[in-house]
Amino acid sequence: MNNKSYDRITERIVSLLSQGTVPWHKPWRVQTGLPRNLITQKPYRGINVFLLMAMNYESPNWLTLRQANAMGGQIKPGEKSCPVVFWKPMQVKDKESGEDRKIPFLRLYHVFNVTQCTGLKNIPPANNTAFVASKPAEIALNMPQRSVIKHGMNAAYYSPATDIVGMPDSSRFESVDHYHATLFHELVHSTGHEKRLKRASILERNGYGSDPYGKEELIAEMGSAFLCGYAGIEDRTINSSAAYLEGWLKQLKADKTLIVHAAAQAQKAADFSHGEGARLWENARLAMAGDSLRDQPIPDQSNRYGNPLLVAPRLGQGGFRVVVMEGYQRRCAVTGEKTLPVLEAAHIRPYSDDGPHTISNGIFLRSDLHTLFDRGYITITSDLHVAVSRRIRDEFSNGREYYALEGKALQITPQSVADRPSKEFLEWHQNNCFRNQ
């Protein structure tokens, strides 16, 4: 462990807090993006984001003294650098085995904003294409393996035991932005669940609450700040009271590694919610539907079943299930059932009969209803009502539970009308699958 690097960064944060500035409350503008290196255009991550944003420069571009000199420039007299850190692998010998192994070693270096420099030549053109604001609701909706969000609660919370995020109704918040900032805070907590990032600070929690100045709460504060930045939320209700500042000052002085480690975990949580996780979602969406969830099939028509096997695998099925599941709010379209292990994504027109992997060709059903739907014993009419074949009774001498569904409207459908079951595919199912003769 490089104690000097931790000490320098902690001293910097403590100094800012002592002046009344909470670094993780400083908004970054999505239009210009995260602070990044001028030469590589690579965004800084973790604690570096908050350190650089606290400097209050308009430009997001930074560089080292060596980089400035290489571009023919120099630092203006009297200008001071900002410390940033990075992890460098260091080879050490394992005390027990004696074998070489690599461990992360925290290194410190210093950067200047481009406005602190003069004489820079051949400045690379700014690349802001990667920094496009996401709608706050989309960030929450598209989070992979998202917890159930339960509204109508008297306070915001995350329960690791039930994996549920509780939220008051949005009308109880001062603004829509305040609602989403609070929701992001709780969703960051949820990323620590054992089926997501397995964060020790969540796995060891008891009950609904956490130490208001503990590591997990700092992770949620910083993670929410990252997500608010991605969503373009700048005006959010924040706590900068004397008690709040004093609480964090006490914690950071007691643990010099806390701020760096918490920021790194917050970055991972934000990556899961909006970065890596969102890219997984997007890759699944694009792989099965081109640029639209409903307009284009996956681009694998030349080899719809992959390499020849005894059983032909369906390409894109996993992504299809994810999008259909989220579109139907993780509930059975017919019954409203929400026990995920018994719910399945059904194709209306089967993939084997040229049915595409698109949400408008999908419906989320309880597994028994999926079986009956695939075998033609039930169908969905063009006006989204259930029709049940009389052949269930004729062939199996039962089916009372299913006949009770006859003529009932679907309980759950996607919010977007264009994402709801296609009339074309529904009519195909009625004409080619439904056993009502």
Residue 339, judged by CB atoms within 10 A of its CB (0-12, 13-18, 19+), counts as exposed
Which residue, 67, 20, 62, 68, is CA-closest to 45?
62
φ and ψ of 167, to 5 deg: -140, 140
Q: What is the pLDDT of residue 212?
A: 61
Which residue, 286, 284, 293, 289, is CA-closest to 420?
293
Is the pLDDT at 281 greater than 50? The verdict is no
| 140 touches 149 (CB < 8 A) | yes
The residue with greater pLDDT, 345 or 91, is: 345
| Start-end of H helices in 54-135 | 65-70
Q: What is the pLDDT of residue 142?
A: 77
Three-state secondary structure along 266-300? HHHHHHHHCCHHHHHHHHHHHHHHCCCCCCCCCCC
Lowest mean pLDDT among 45-59, 365-379, 385-399: 385-399
Confidence of residue 236 (pLDDT cuts 50, 70, 90): low
Which residue, 26, 79, 34, 101, is CA-closest to 61?
34
Which residue, 204, 115, 190, is CA-closest to 159?
190
| 51 touches 84 (CB < 8 A) | yes
Q: What is the pLDDT of residue 312?
A: 38
Angle (CA) 89-92-94 rounded to 5° is 130
Half-sphere exposure of 75 (CA within 13 A, CB side): 16
Cα separation, 399 vs 390, whole angstroms: 9
| 349 touches 361 (CB < 8 A) | yes
Cα separation, 379 vs 426, whole angstroms: 8
Q: Residues 14-51: pLDDT tens digits?
A: 998 888 888 888 766 655 678 999 998 888 999 999 99
| 115 touches 59 (CB < 8 A) | yes
Q: What are the distances in angstroms from CA 27 to CA 31, 127, 389? A: 12, 20, 58
Residue 313, judged by CB atoms within 10 A of its CB (0-12, 13-18, 19+), counts as exposed
Q: Residues 195-205: pLDDT tens digits?
A: 899 898 887 76
Q: Residues 308-330: pLDDT tens digits?
A: 444 333 434 556 787 888 888 88
